Chains A and B, each alone.
Chain A
Amino acid sequence: MAVTGAALVLFLIAHMLGNLKVFMGADSFNHYAEWLRTAGSPALPNRTLLTITEIVLALCVVLHMWAAVSLARRAAKARPVKYAAKRKSQAKGYATQTMRYGGVIIVLFVVWHLLDMTFGAVNPKGGDATPYDRMVAGFQPDRWWVTAFYLVAMVMIGLHLRHGLWSAFQSLGLTRHPRSRGALQTGAAAVSAVLVLGFVVAPICIMIGVVK
């Protein structure tokens, strides 16, 4: 859970920074997208690094889900008779309670997001348009429901990371002092907030017409 999650967080940071290139104009954004495909060339054939990254990420997503499902199954087996009274959470932290259903929302979002922005199957411009055109077309005001789903998913990712980031350190045994755990929890909240803001700013600016 911790190791695969860490790889996915590193990807999210890179992805968010790449997205922000949309504010530097169509050429810059498309050039960045092109660079992702040709990085390492000519030493390596095109898409080598990209394909490796894609395989590692897909593997991480699958293993992360496998770990989550096995934990949930163990939890169900560990408490065969449920409590009659509704369990009242005593721990602080709303994010912790969103991990399982939030994860499902996030994976559904990832499927939609790939169909929309990578393959163009559900994008108005289709798969042959430039990445910039696909992105701008995807978040037009008449597709407000896509943007809304996107925003909900980003909030879910934010909550997921709010718990997941510091939890990964705890699982790896790196928070052996209340002070380091406190610092990590604050850090997790800050990184999650920055990621969510970095991800939602582009779609919102496209929807309100700041980025055309």
Chain B
Amino acid sequence: MNLTLKIWRQNGSSDKGRMVTYRVEDVSPDMSFLEMLDVLNERLILEGDDPVAFDHDCREGICGMCGMVINGVAHGEQKLTTTCQLHMRHFKDGDVVTIEPWRSAAFPVVKDLVVNRSAFDRIIQAGGFISVPAGSAPEAHSVPVPKADADAAFDAATCIGCGACVAACPNGSASLFTAAKITHLGLLPQGQPERESRARAMVEQMDAEGFGGCTNTGECTAVCPKGIPFDTIAQMNADYLKAASK
């Protein structure tokens, strides 16, 4: 199939940036979205042009590096799918595809479709850890964890930190990411000692990074490739309110 791509090109953070139209021909329906961009980039390199910069690493949907807004939807319209796992069979011959980077004041564009997500790292640094001597793996039965808590904590822990939640949020909020980390640690016994200080520090860091406020629109969880539950945001709010009321 042949596609028309409208891609955001921006040569560094000080460049103003613009949408540039490209044609890609003979796209196989078996290609992933990133492989389709690889084909475009190979041609651009042969023609002496600057290839389109985009983030990618594992290409199997588990690392959280890739991510672009495809036709107005973070990671494209396929549910529970990262951009690298989005396949071209979901597109039709002649489609016009708009490709943009995550748009957030807290995620400055590095180049083209690559954004700097260090804001997420700083939120983690603010409290997304447990301060216990970890050592080697303990005997599994030494600290019992209720099954329901273990499942909920694991669901939250599957967050890969790609940033699609921020990109999709009409408010540019990072609540789902922050909530996933707070819920993941807050539901487990090892996370209890710092539960409240963690919620408080991470929420305050999230606000300091310039993300917007949550209005419970649910766009984040709808585009999340890992399906992080919306309820984690309620957990974050509960833990934060408890910490703030002391």
**Interface size, chain A (Cβ < 8 Å):** 39
Q: A78-B171, A84-B100 given as contacts; is B239 within 8 A of A173 (CB)?
A: yes
Residue of A74, A83, A176 near B171 (CB, 8 A) is: A74
Residue of A75, A77, A83, A163 near B216 (CB, 8 A) is: A163
Residue of B100, B172, B211, B217 near A91 (CB, 8 A) is: B217
Residue of B8, B217, B229, B238 near A174 (CB, 8 A) is: B238
Q: Is A148 an interface residue (CB 8 A)?
A: no
Output the nearest chain A residue to B229 by Cβ-Cβ distance: A178
Q: By the criterion CB–CB under 8 Å, are A171 and B231 in contact?
A: no
* Complex alpha-carbon distance, A78 and B163, angstroms: 14
The 0/1 profile, CB within 8 Å of A marked 1, for residues 113-156 of chain B is 00000000000000000000000000000000000000000000
Q: Which residues of A contact B241 (CB under 8 A)?
A: 172-173
Q: A91-B222, A92-B218 given as contacts; is B72 within 8 A of A78 (CB)?
A: no
Q: Is B87 an interface residue (CB 8 A)?
A: no
Query: Shortest beta-carbon distance, B87 to chain A, in Å?
Result: 19
* Complex alpha-carbon distance, A209 and B199, angstroms: 58
Residue of B6, B217, B231, B240 near A178 (CB, 8 A) is: B231
Q: By the criterion CB–CB under 8 Å, are B72 and A85 in contact?
A: yes
Binds A, one of B23-31, B38-46, B54-62, B103-111: B103-111
Q: Is A175 an interface residue (CB 8 A)?
A: yes
Restricting to A76-110, which residues have a CB under 8 Å from any CB of B?
77-93, 96-97, 99
Q: By the criterion CB–CB under 8 Å, are A78 and B173 in contact?
A: yes
Q: Which residues of A contact B170 (CB under 8 A)?
A: 75, 87
* Complex alpha-carbon distance, A84 and B104, angstroms: 14
Residue of A75, A169, A176 near B235 (CB, 8 A) is: A176
Q: Is A167 an interface residue (CB 8 A)?
A: yes
Residue of A75, A80, A81, A91 near B218 (CB, 8 A) is: A91
Q: Which residues of B contact A71 (CB under 8 A)?
A: 171, 212-213, 215
Residue of A70, A78, A80, A84 near B211 (CB, 8 A) is: A78
Q: By the criterion CB–CB under 8 Å, are B6 and A84 in contact?
A: yes
Q: Which residues of A contact B8 (CB under 8 A)?
A: 84
Restricting to B212-227, which residues have a CB under 8 Å from any CB of A?
212-219, 221-223
Residue of A83, A89, A92, A99 near B215 (CB, 8 A) is: A99
Q: Give the bracket for the number of chain B residues in contact with chain A.
A: 35 or more
Q: By the criterion CB–CB under 8 Å, are B212 and A93 in contact?
A: no
* Complex alpha-carbon distance, A139 and B235, angstroms: 47
Q: Which residues of B contact A88 (CB under 8 A)?
A: 71-73, 77
* Complex alpha-carbon distance, A80 and B222, angstroms: 23
Interface centre among A99, A166, A173, A181 (most CB of B within 10 A): A173
* Complex alpha-carbon distance, A96 and B237, angstroms: 19
Q: By the criterion CB–CB under 8 Å, are A176 and B234 in contact?
A: yes
Q: Is B86 an interface residue (CB 8 A)?
A: no
Q: Which residues of B contact A74 (CB under 8 A)?
A: 171, 212-213
Q: A88-B71, A88-B77, A90-B168 given as contacts; is B237 within 8 A of A83 (CB)?
A: no
Output the nearest chain A residue to B222 by Cβ-Cβ distance: A90
Q: By the criterion CB–CB under 8 Å, are A84 and B98 in contact?
A: yes
Interface centre among A74, A75, A176, A177 (most CB of B within 10 A): A176
Query: Shortest beta-carbon distance, B233 to chain A, in Å?
Result: 7
Q: Is B208 an interface residue (CB 8 A)?
A: no
Output the nearest chain B residue to A90 by Cβ-Cβ distance: B222
Query: Shortest beta-carbon distance, B134 to chain A, in Å?
Result: 28
* Complex alpha-carbon distance, A81 and B236, angstroms: 28
29 contacts between A and B (CB under 8 A): A71-B212, A74-B171, A75-B170, A75-B171, A75-B172, A75-B213, A77-B212, A78-B106, A79-B103, A79-B104, A83-B69, A90-B168, A90-B219, A90-B222, A90-B223, A91-B218, A91-B219, A91-B222, A93-B217, A99-B215, A166-B216, A170-B237, A171-B237, A172-B237, A172-B241, A173-B237, A173-B239, A176-B234, A181-B230
